[in-house]
Amino acid sequence: MNKILVIRNDRLGDLMLILPALKIIKSSIPDIQIDCLVNESYKDISLLSNDIDNVLADTISANNLLNHEYNYSISFFSTFNIGYKLWKANIKNRYAPATKLAQVLYNKTIKQNRSTSLKPEYEYNNDLACYFLNDNGYQIIKTNGPFIKLENQKEINKSKKKIIFIHPFTGGSSKTLSEDDFIKLCIELNKICSYKFILHCDMHDYDKCQIMKNRLSKLDIDVIKPTKQLTQMFSNINQCDLFIAGSTGPLHVAGSLNKKTVAFYPSKKSSTSLRWTTINDEFNRLAYEDSGTDDKYIKIDIFRIANEIYNKLLK
């Protein structure tokens, strides 16, 4: 075995959560080439990951995939379309969770019941990687990060204050705090100690973040310059001391960089803080679930949580 194709072609946060599994595969088979089929928006992940050698966009045709002559694939995210392409590309050993109708297109499956949220998503991914290794007679060697490599970083802030990134919008991927509550949280944190706040967002939410900045004009606060470049996003986030957000892609980017994180989760069974926990060290993260008192936004005890954030992550 000299190469394998792994698939996770949905959202950015989901892609981050396969990195520990890839680390296990790479550690257990050091000379293996790991190619990753991803959403085209994230094709630069091979420039950042320590364990991804090449990237293929999920728009690739089955015929082009056939030319790569893969004999092994692992679909951490399974769709009928991708499963059909893998089968059509004559990949002999196709691993995937036995959870969806698309499983009929895979010949190596394990039952995981991920929707029950009994363990973190990244652990389900690790279990699938270990199933692949066991099935092929490899000794499993588990190791920790780093998962990401970064070079040529430029400082975005010369302040000696600790830098807190606030990512107030999720692009519809998950319920989060209201703008008012994010503002209250910043104010409460700044009462405890003076911080440099940076509102982190994509281009679609830049104007909304500018309005939030104006409402927080008494604080030391800026809005990030949005970027479509994955490498620049990682470099920006790597400069924070703390990243605060709902359960969204940039939160999991911060986790992959082992930054300190504070995350807010809805109370839905499929979206719990356990299921979608970040992959940073346990002592680097705090997670809070919705009180369920508001249909649109996550509600928390802002005063209590501000003090917990300070005492556990910033003190």
- Per-domain residue ranges for the chain? 3-135, 163-314
The residue type found at 310 is: Y
- Within 10 Å of residue 75's Cβ, how many Cβ atoms? 26
Q: Are 65 and 35 in contact (CB under 8 A)?
A: no
pLDDT recorded at residue 95: 97
pLDDT recorded at residue 88: 95
Q: How many helices (H) and strands (E) does the chain have?
A: 10, 12
Answer positive or negative: Cα dihedral of 203, 171, 23, 280: positive
- Residue pLDDT, tens place only, 107-166: 999 999 888 889 999 999 999 999 999 999 999 998 888 999 987 566 766 678 999 999
Residues lower than pLDDT 70 in the chain: 152-154, 156-158, 172-173
pLDDT recorded at residue 78: 77
pTM of the full predicted structure?
A: 0.95
Q: Which fold has domain 163-314?
A: Rossmann fold (3.40.50)
Fold identical between 3-135 and 163-314? yes
CATH number of the domain at 3-135, please? 3.40.50.2000
pLDDT recorded at residue 157: 65
DSSP-assigned states of every residue in 184-216: HHHHHHHHHS--EEEE---GGGHHHHHHHHHHT
